[in-house]
Amino acid sequence: MNATIEPLLTLSDYTVRFTTLDGTVNAVNGLDLAVARGETVAVVGESGSGKSQTFNGVFGLLARNAETRGAVNFEGRDLLAMSSKELDTVRGADMAMVFQDPMTALNPAMKIKHQLIETLVIHKGLKGKAAEAEALAIMKKVGIPEAERRINQYPHELSGGMRQRVVIAMALLCRPKLIVADEPTTALDVTIQAQILDLFRDLTADAGTALILITHDLGVVAGIADRVVVMYAGRIVEEGPVDELFARPAAPYTAALLRSIPRVDRDADAVQPIGGRPPDLINLPRGCPFNPRCGFTKDKCRSERPPLADVAPGRRAACWSPFIDAAAGTAEGQHA
């Protein structure tokens, strides 16, 4: 990937913490990530892995008790240094977000038309007929049938799939360079999910928009991503091109995650669960955060945290004994 050549978005030593009555929640812990123009990156993890909070922070949408550190660079601008007002010139315009639940992302008391026009007025200075025409064009682009009628309706009059199309239309209004979609199909039925993923695939291919897809669903990832980032306990445990990562996972957590999911295209008697529980973000384990659940734990894993290191061209893993030998660049294959 050309992530190193011309990154669109770079997170460096990015940290998000929440102060709560129970203690400090370490949601994101020193993340380094680069996303290139036009690429589709899937960020995978279970609840509490920090995948959503990372990008909520990028968009300045964290709760008040949050504290961020590090740097977020978007096209040469440091987003963390910006005031909320300055950030408004970037978000919604150059980068847009699509959330899981389209009903809460839309204003229930406003017609679809006005929600779309609002964005165009604020970011592009369009008015009246011009704004309306643009809004209608984008509704058609995301495949909403009878767009002329739909645009005058309220969100509750639309089905879940249609609402998510409207939210995607809103995200596309200003032709952003980056869309971050946080579990955009989790609330939808599979046949509707397939439609929405097709839409994302077409849109990113046509416009060269970079897409960061946050999801827990490895099936969704396999169908859409160029590159995959696996997160655990607020850190990246592995990243790499989608085919290689699925075929030969380098980190034991990735391998365990892949083994734990049943497949619709195969008969199986059982799946292999990951034992134990996700880590407590207030009291993170010493060393590698996955060590209490990992089947390959050694003494070093309990005392020292493994850095995210190159294991093969374009692939990194945070593990003291990854399944891929960095020097040889080949899989040891003991896990397959």
Partner 1 sequence: MPETLLSVENLSTVFTLPGRALLAKSARLTAVSDVSFCLEEGETLGIVGESGCGKSTLGRSILRLIEPTEGRVVWQGRSLTALSKTEMRKARRDLSIIFQDPVASLDPRMNVGQIIEEPLKIAEPKLLRGERRKRVERVMDEVGLAPEMINRYPHEFSGGQAQRIGIARAIVTEPKLIVCDEPVSALDVSIQAQIVNLLKALKERMGLTLIFISHDLSVVRLVSDRILVLYLGRIVEIGPRQQVFQNPAHPYTQALLSAAPIPDPVVARSRERTALQGDPPSPINPPSGCGFRTRCPIAREDCAKDLPPLAKVDADHQVACLFWTEVRADPALAAG
Q: Which residues, 296 to 315, sit near partner 1 by CB under 8 A?
A: none
- What x/- string results for residues 127 through 146 when contact with partner 1 is judged by CB under 8 A? ------------------x-
End-to-end CA distance of the chain: 25
DSSP string over 66-81? EEEEEEEEETTEEGGG
**3-state SS assignment for residue 50:** coil
Between CA 316 and CA 147 the distance in angstroms is 45
Size of interface with partner 1, in residues (CB under 8 A): 47
- The answer to whether 267 contacts partner 1 (rule: CB under 8 A) is yes
331's enclosing H/E stretch is: strand 330-331
- The answer to whether 221 contacts partner 1 (rule: CB under 8 A) is yes
Q: Which residues, 188 to 207, sit near partner 1 by CB under 8 A?
A: 189-195, 198
171's enclosing H/E stretch is: helix 160-172
Stretch that binds partner 1, among 22-30, 72-80, 126-134, 272-280 (CB under 8 A): 272-280
| Chosen residue from 21, 63, 109, 268 binding partner 1 by CB under 8 A | 268
* Least distance between partner 1 and beta carbon 175 (Å): 26
Between CA 84 and CA 69 the distance in angstroms is 16
Between CA 194 and CA 206 the distance in angstroms is 18
| Chosen residue from 19, 107, 260, 330 binding partner 1 by CB under 8 A | 260
- The answer to whether 118 contacts partner 1 (rule: CB under 8 A) is no
Between CA 293 and CA 17 the distance in angstroms is 24
Q: Which of 31, 24, 99 is CA-nearest to residue 67?
A: 24
Q: Which of 101, 118, 99, 122 is CA-nearest to residue 110?
A: 118
Stretch that binds partner 1, among 119-127, 170-178, 220-228, 297-305 (CB under 8 A): 220-228
| Chosen residue from 23, 208, 219, 295 binding partner 1 by CB under 8 A | 219
* Least distance between partner 1 and beta carbon 5 (Å): 23
Which spans of this chain sit near partner 1 (rule: CB under 8 A)?
A: 46-47, 145, 159, 161-162, 189-195, 198, 216-223, 225, 242-243, 246-247, 256-258, 260-268, 270-275, 277-278
